[in-house]
């Protein structure tokens, strides 16, 4: 692979999540990013894991073997202390099989109705897994970002639960902070900071 770019397939069909990963990884010229849209025969991986790590590994290894590519599997979600860690791995489908960002936020607000500010602590988790084309896990990284859930939405940026997730130190939600600040503070940005040195080390060994 000498003198060539390392092809990394982002194993997600979530457009907003893919764009965020592209933003975080695009500054490394030795990496050529591809998405599942570049592979018409990409499969749908069923997220049957009970942890972020298990789901990330499924997305990475199954897709990598199928496509014969290096695939980055990512699984992330929101956990709320007052809800015993829910919605957790079910964050995207919290309000049912036909869940949307809006319906999930409505359910979260309802479930936390009456819970005081000091007990609305929550954290985002992001797990990243890189698989080689044979289905071997080469890199595993997980990070979190802590904050609290508001009683109503604030901000227009971001996606998912971002308008409800406030960073107390800033007094702003992820949806108010904007992409540049979020790309430093977020769970995905933190996991990426652990992931990139390992990825660059792998690329150096392969060259």
Residue 3 is assigned to a ligand binding site: no
Provide the phi-psi class of 158: left if phi over 0, else alpha when psi is between -120 and 50, else beta: left
Residue 34 is assigned to a ligand binding site: no
Residue 13 is assigned to a ligand binding site: yes
Kindly list the distances between the CA atom of residue 168 and the CA atoms of 47, 117, 125, 147, in Å, as whole numbers in the listed order.
32, 11, 17, 6
Residue 105 is assigned to a ligand binding site: no
Residue 15 is assigned to a ligand binding site: yes
Residue 23 is assigned to a ligand binding site: no
Residue 46 is assigned to a ligand binding site: yes
Question: Which residues participate in catalysis according to the annotation?
Answer: 75
Q: Which residue numbers belong to the known binding site for substrate?
A: 12-17, 76, 159-162, 182, 187-188
Q: Which residue numbers belong to the known binding site?
A: 12-17, 46, 75-76, 159-162, 182, 187-188
Q: Which residue numbers belong to the known binding site for Mg(2+)?
A: 46, 75
């Amino acid at each position: 692979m000498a003198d060539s770019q390392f092809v990394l397939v982002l194993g997600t069909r979530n457009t907003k999540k893919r764009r965020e990963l592209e933003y975080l990884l695009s500054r490394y010229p030795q990496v050529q990013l591809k998405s599942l849209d570049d592979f018409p025969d990409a499969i749908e991986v069923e997220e049957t894991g009970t942890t972020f790590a298990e789901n990330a590994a499924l997305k990475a290894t199954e897709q990598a073997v199928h496509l014969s590519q290096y695939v980055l599997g990512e699984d992330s979600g929101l956990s709320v202390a007052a809800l015993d860690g829910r919605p957790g791995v079910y964050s995207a489908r919290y309000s049912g099989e036909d869940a949307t960002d809006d319906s999930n936020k409505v359910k979260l607000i309802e479930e936390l109705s009456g819970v005081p500010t000091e007990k609305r602590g929550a954290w985002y988790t992001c797990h990243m897994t890189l698989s080689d084309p044979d289905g071997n896990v080469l890199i595993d990284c997980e990070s979190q970002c802590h904050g609290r859930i508001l009683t109503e939405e604030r901000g227009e940026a971001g996606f998912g639960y971002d308008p409800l997730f406030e960073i107390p130190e800033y007094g702003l939600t992820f949806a108010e902070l904007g992409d540049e600040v979020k790309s430093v503070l977020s769970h995905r940005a933190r996991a990426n900071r652990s992931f990139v040195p390992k990825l660059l080390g792998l690329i150096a060994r392969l060259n």
